[in-house]
Each structure stands twice: as structure tokens, then as C-alpha cells.
Structure 1
Amino acid sequence: MESQNYKNHVRFYAPHHFVFLPLLIILEGIGIYKIFSDEQNQLSWILFSVIIFLIFYLAIMVRQHYALVLQNRIVRLEFRQRYFEIFGLRSDDVEEKLTFGQIAALRFAYDDEFKIFLEKALKEKIKGDEIKKSITKWRPDHQRV
């Protein structure tokens, strides 16, 4: 497996991203084209396009929503556990001062960089994306949704 880093850490689910969604986009394009080219059945094509758009919207939102909400909770729990293991303290006060983006970015850093970037996040308010770009030794997460 290829080493994970900032440039390749995005994950795709091939049937969803490269088959189902493109098919819906093509169908939506056909529907919109037919709205303007088939005046006899224009209302039917409008209905078709609206239904395809709603299916497309639901396919994206529902699939992501439940998985991401659960993943976000797990990321926060992971942060709390890691903070406790490194510092021997509860993370409640620290966690309140961080955005979720910062917490999520910190999980890609090994412990030595975790401490450095945590300090920067608290004092300099650097964003999660800046943390991820600054990590020199990437700690991969192959279990993400």
C-alpha cells in the first residue's frame, strides 16, 4: 500500500463516486436537454430532472452524513485518548479551544509533532489544513470513511 500523505489522503468509494454519481449526472444532463428540445413532453422531463436531482442530492448527503457524524465522534475520542496518553491529563479544556478541523488534522501527526502542532493550534490558531501541510512524518489513517 502506498504511503499516505497530504496529497493522497482523500478516499473514494468507486461504485459510488465513479459509477452511480456520474450516471445520475448524465441522466440529469439528458433531462435538462430534453426539457428544451422536447416541448411536447416538457413537463414530464421537468419532473424527471427534479426526481433525478433529488436522488443525486440524497445519494450524496445521506451516504456521507451518518458516516461522517460517527467518524467525527471517533476522531474526538481518539484525540482525548491520545492527549491523555501523552500528557496524563484530561483534554476537556484543551478540546474546547480547538476547532474540529484542528483536532482532525492533529491525528495525522506522530506524538512528537502532535505536541508541537497542538501548541501552535492553541497559541497561533493555525488551521487544520495548515497543520496537515506542515506534518513532516505523516501518520496514516487507512480506516477512514
Structure 2
Amino acid sequence: MEQNFKNHTRLVPGFHFVLGILIIVGLLGASIGIFHAMNTTKLNLHNAVLILILFLIVALLFWYSRSFAIKAQDRAIRAEENLRYFSLTGKLLPAELRMGQIIALRFAPNDEFLNLVDKAVAEKLSVKEIKMAIKNWRADYHRV
């Protein structure tokens, strides 16, 4: 399938939906388990608290595994786009560009890239505005 503005986001159903929902259900179930265990023995309460702690750990791992991968990917994109801009102009990307703008600019082909960089800086374009201004989408199939 050809990538464009409408379909360029990447969701991995097993990670984003199945695992995410299972973690939320587990957190809710563990929380309910603590309330039920409050009326029984200390051992039951202890076990319920441990289960909740485990689900909190899993939720944090879920969140940080994604955010660390995205941060590393963003750094790579910034380096790639800086190199591309340098190879086309002999200069580094303008310092006024925000990270989100640089990430959006990666979808612009070389013939649109320089004008779009200038426009993004001059008009302080949003990520969505940059992506919508691209006429010939340059796909990125190597995202995390």
C-alpha cells in the first residue's frame, strides 16, 4: 500500500491494542482484588498488592519501551534530515525548527524539501500543516 498523509501512522495491533488492553484489564482486576482482599486474611491482601505492583511494572515497561524506541528513532530522523539538508545546501538545518517539524519534513521529497523547510521556519508551521503541504509523499516504511 502506498503511504500518504492519511495512512502514515503505524499501529501494531498486538502491541497497541491487545497488550495495551490486557495491561489495563490486569490493572483494574488487580485493583479490584485489593478491595476484595481487604476483608480477608493478610496473606490475601499481600498477594493482591504484589499482583498490582507487577501490573504497574508491566504498564511502565509497556510505556517506556515505546517511548525509548521513539526517542531513538527521532534522533536518527534528525540526523538523517540534517544530513539531507546539508547535502542539498551545504548548511545545517535551521535551529528554529522543532523536532516535530523535522520529523514531519522527512516525508517531503528533495524537490519540495528546501522550500518546505523555509516555509516551516518562516510561518512556524505545525506538524500537520507540514505534512498536508507535501504534494508527493516520500514514504517511511522503517519506523518503529
- Report the TM-score when normalising by structure 2: 0.83
Runs of 4+ in 1 over 6 A off after TM superposition: none
Tell whether the 8 Å contact from 1:120 to 1:126 is kept in structure 2 after alignment. Answer: yes
- 1:46-86 Cα offsets, whole Å, 9 max, x none, are 33223202211122203430x22321222112112211232
Aligned position for 1:15? 14
Gaps of 5+ in 2: none
Report Cα offsets for 1:29-54 as digits up to 9, x if no partner. 21122233343234532332232022
1:74-129 deviation digits (Å, cap 9, x = unpaired): 21121122112322x1215x1x2211111111111112321222111111111222
Matched residues, percent identical? Answer: 36
What residue identity is the alignment partner of 1:53?
L
Separation in 2, partners of 1:26, 1:33: 10
CA distance in 2, matches of 1:53, 1:81: 41
TM-score, normalisation: structure 1:
0.82
Contact 1:102 1:131 in 2 (8 A): yes
Query: 2:74 aligned with 1:72, yes or no?
Result: yes
Higher share of residues assigned helix: 1
Distance 2:6 2:103 in 1: 16
Question: Any conservation in 2 of the 1:24–1:52 contact (CA below 8 Å)?
Answer: yes
SS state at 1:8 partner: coil
Q: Identify unmatched segments of 5+ residues in structure 1.
A: none
1:81 aligns with 2:83: yes
